[in-house]
Structure 1
C-alpha cells in the first residue's frame, strides 16, 4: 500500500532522544514551554483558563449530567501542543486537492458501485445509504449542486517523520467553532504566563468563518433570498456550542439568512416536498441542509427517519453532504483509493503523488487472496493495526488484542467485508495539563490529532468553490485508543508550530 514519500521525511531529529521508548516507535516531543509549571503558577492560571473557556463559549452539555439550562466547559489542554510547521503547512496546502479528489469520487458512480458492492451486502447501515443513493439516481437527481465540508484527520508519524492521514470525514465534520475558541484561550494563557514571544507559533484559525462561508455560498447559489438553512441535529445536542456558533457566524456574515434546527423525526413529521421538489419545513423553504446527525444507525429510530433522509435527498435543497458524498467518506472507499495507481483515476500524476504521500497502509478484508493475507497479518501482529468499520462519530474502531478476538470470529465469514484494516500510526508523545470539569488538573502524556477542514461546492461538471477552511487539534491520553472529548479521555487543543 502507498506510504509516505521520502521527500516529506525529515533530515534531522525533532525529538528528545533521551526519551526513546523500548519499542523505538514512540518518542517524546518537546512542548511549547518547560514542564511542570510551578504549583503556585498553576493554581493561579487554571481558574483563569476555565473562566475564559466558559465566557467564550468553549462549552458542552454532558450525557451523565445533562441539563438543558446549564453549560460546562469542554475538556481542554492548558497549553497548545507542538506540531511540525513543515507538515502543518503541507497538509493545509494539499487540502484543496483532497476536496477535488472527494468531489470526483462522489460523482463517479462506477467507482462507488464497484468499491462498495461487497460492503453493502454485509453492512446494513451502508446498504440503507446505498438504497437512497440508487433510488435518487433512478428517479433523476433534482439538485446537482452539492456542498462538501470535509475534515481530514492526521497524526504526525514518528517512523515516517511526516503527517499521515487517519481518515476523511465527509459528514458532520465537527469542532470548527470550538477549535477557534481554544485557539483564543491558548493565546490568553500564554499571555498570562508572560510568554508573549510564543504567540507567533500559533497559526490563525478561520475554521468557523470558512465553514460558514461555504454554507452562505451554497445558500446564494440556491437563489431564493427567503429560503432558510436547515441544520439536521441529534435528538439531544450535547456539543451545542459548536453548532450554535455556526448559526451565529452565518447570521454575522449574512443577517438576512435564517437557520432552523430539526431532528430526523421532526423532519419526517413536518417536512414535505412540493410538486417541483422544493423542501418545505414548517412553512419555510430550505435552501441548504447541513447534517450534524444521520451518520450512525442509532440516529434512525424507525423507518420514518429513513424516509426523512430520502425526502431530503429527493429535494432541490443543496445538501451538505449529499448522499454520494456521505458514501465517498466510507472507510472502504478510503482503502480503495490507497491502491497503487487508483488516485490517477481522479487526479493528475503530480497531484496523485502529493496525495499518496499522506496515506499509511490500508488493506481490504474482502474474501479473496488479498483479504486473506491482510487477515493473516492482523492475527499475527494485531498491535500493528487498527480495524475499522464503516462508521463515523468515534468509538467504533478495534485495537490490539481485540482485533484478534474479532477476526477469529469473522475470518471465515462475509461479515469481515464490513471492515478495513489500517496500519497503526505511531505519533510522538508530549506532556500537557488536562483540564476537565469536576476533576483535578493532571499533567499527562498525550498524543495529538490534527484536523484540516475543506469546503467545496460543485456538480458533476464544475467546481464552483474550493477552499482550505481552517483546522483543529484534538489531543488524547497516550494510554487510550479512543479519545472522545465528551468522555474526558481526549480534549480540545490548538497547534503550536515549530521548525
Structure 2
C-alpha cells in the first residue's frame, strides 16, 4: 500500500559532523532532564540511559491536533458513563468473558464488589486517547485506542518540547519553535491525583502507587511522585507491588485500606493491566482488597473494563454513542474519529468480519483485550490466527480493526548504544491526548484535557510501544495542511 509523505520540519539529511554534534548535545540534555529509562537487557537500579527519541519534532496537522484536544473532555465523560452502565458492560463483554480469563477475573472482582455494595463511589481517571492520521480519510485523525489504566509517558512527554526547542536552536532553526505546542501533562495528571486526595478528605491519608516488580520506565513514574511532593509536601506516597499490597496492607472496620497505620486516599495503578502482573492468587486477592476499600482508585475496576477493546468496538456500533451522548454535534464528532471496528462473535456480523479479514488481511489489525503494546497482529498473522480460531470460541476475545495508514515522515531516531550517526528513516507518529476525570455515577467533579504525547516508530514496524522498545518519544510540530495536498505517491509536502 502506498503511503503519503510529510516533509521534515527542516531539510534532511543533516551534514554528518553537525548531526553527530547535535545528537551528543541532545543525549546529554535528555539524561540531565530525565528523558530516560532503565536498560532491560542489563538492568541496574543505579543506571539510567536515554529513552529512545526522535531528534526532530514530527509534523502533525494543527487542525487535527486541536480537534483531539477539544474532544478529550467529551471522551472522558463518555467513558465515565460507559463505566457506570453495568448492563452495557455485561452485555458487551459476555462473550469475551467466556474465553478471556484475564478479563473474566477483572469482571469477577467487579461483580463481587457490586454485590457487597461499593464502598467508594468516586473514581479517578487519568486517561489517554491515542490517534493516527488516516491519509485516505481527508487527512483526519482516527482513534487507535482509549487507555484507562497506567497511561504512561505523561511525565517525560512534558519535557520533550523543551528538548526539541533546544535541538532546533542548536541547528539554527529557532524560528520554528513557535509551531510547537506547550505540554503540561505532568502537572495536569498530578493535579488530578491531588484533587482526588482532597475529595477523600482525611488529612493523615497517603497515596499508593501500584508498581511492577522491576520498573524500567522509572523516570516517568518518579516524576509524578516528585511533582506531587513539590506541590503538596503533606502527601506521603508509597510504592507497592500487588504482592506487597496483599502482604503489607489491611482493611480496617471502616473498610479503609491501611498502610503503616495510615489510610490510603488514592490508589494509582502503574501495573495490573496484563496477566503476567498477576502470577498467583495473591495478586488477585490484593486487587480485590483494594477494590473493596474506601480508597479512590485510578482506575476503578469498572473504568478498566470500560477500556477494553470490546467496548471500543461496541461504541462504534449503530446507535450506541447516541445512547450515551444523545444526538448532537459532539456525537457526530466522536463518531468521526472511529475507524472500522468489528466484532468476531459467533453471529452473522462476526462471520462477515472473519470473511472480510481472510479476503484482505493487510487491511486489518487483530486486537486482544490487552494493554501495554506488543499484543496486536497484522497482515499474514491476522489471516493465520483467524484460520486457526475460526471455529473456536477463542476468537470472541478479539476484535477486528481497520488498519490506519498514517503519512510517512523522514527523521532520525536516537537510541542508547546505537551506531553513529543514525540513518534517515521513515517514521509514522501516534498522538496521545491525556485527560483527567473525577466523579461518581451521578456527579462529575473535574473533567479536562491536560496534555499530550507523540510517539513515533519505524514505518515498517507494526507495534510502536516505547516501553516495549519498539518506538521513540517525539514532539508535534504543528503544520497547516488545509490548502495543501498530500500525495499518495511519495511526493513531499513542503
Q: Secondary structure at the match of 1:402?
A: helix
1:146-204, Cα deviation, whole Å (9 max, x unpaired): 00111000001100110000000000000001111222110110111121110011100
Provide the rounded CA distance (Å) in 2 between the counterparts of 1:146 and 1:244.
Answer: 22
| Correspondence 1:253-332 to 2 at 5 A | 253-332=231-310
Of 317, 333, 336, 1:354 maps to: 333
Provide the rounded CA distance (Å) in 2 between the counterparts of 1:228 and 1:307.
Answer: 21
Give the structure 2 partner of residue 121 of structure 1: 98
TM-score, normalized by length of structure 2?
0.95
CA contact (8 A) 1:436 1:488 kept: no
What is the CA RMSD across the aligned residues, in angstroms?
Answer: 0.8
Provide the rounded CA distance (Å) in 1 between the counterparts of 2:405 and 2:391.
Answer: 30
Give the structure 2 partner of residue 443 of structure 1: 424
What number of residue pairs does the alignment pair up?
A: 476
Give the structure 1 partner of residue 446 of structure 2: 465
TM-score, normalized by length of structure 1?
0.94
Provide the rounded CA distance (Å) in 1 between the counterparts of 2:411 and 2:234.
Answer: 43
Provide the rounded CA distance (Å) in 2 between the counterparts of 1:486 and 1:39.
Answer: 29
Of 238, 250, 254, 2:228 maps to: 250
Gaps of at least 5 residues in structure 1 are 1-22
Give the structure 2 partner of residue 485 of structure 1: 466
Give the structure 2 partner of residue 11 of structure 1: none
Q: CA deviation at 1:97?
A: 0.3
Give the structure 1 partner of residue 79 of structure 2: 102
Q: CA deviation at 1:225?
A: 1.4
**Which shifted more, 333-342 or 440-449?**
440-449
Give the structure 1 partner of residue 151 of structure 2: 173
Does 2:364 match 1:385? yes
Gaps of at least 5 residues in structure 2 are 481-494
Provide the rounded CA distance (Å) in 1 between the counterparts of 2:251 and 2:231.
Answer: 29
Give the structure 1 partner of residue 483 of structure 2: none
Of 411, 420, 444, 2:399 maps to: 420
Q: Secondary structure at the match of 1:286?
A: strand
Does 2:204 match 1:226? yes
Give the structure 2 partner of residue 151 of structure 1: 128
Provide the rounded CA distance (Å) in 2 between the counterparts of 1:392 and 1:280.
Answer: 29
Give the structure 1 partner of residue 116 of structure 2: 139
Moved over 4 A (4+): none
Of 313, 328, 350, 1:335 maps to: 313
**Which shifted more, 296-305 or 342-351?**
342-351
Q: CA deviation at 1:287?
A: 0.2
Q: CA deviation at 1:283?
A: 2.3
1:316-367, Cα deviation, whole Å (9 max, x unpaired): 0000000000000000000000001110111131221111011000000000
Q: Secondary structure at the match of 1:349?
A: coil
Provide the rounded CA distance (Å) in 2 between the counterparts of 1:371 and 1:312.
Answer: 37
Give the structure 2 partner of residue 210 of structure 1: 188
Give the structure 2 partner of residue 452 of structure 1: 433
Give the structure 2 partner of residue 40 of structure 1: 17
Provide the rounded CA distance (Å) in 2 between the counterparts of 1:452 and 1:228.
Answer: 28
Q: CA deviation at 1:484?
A: 2.7
1:392-433, Cα deviation, whole Å (9 max, x unpaired): 000000100001111111111111100000000000001111
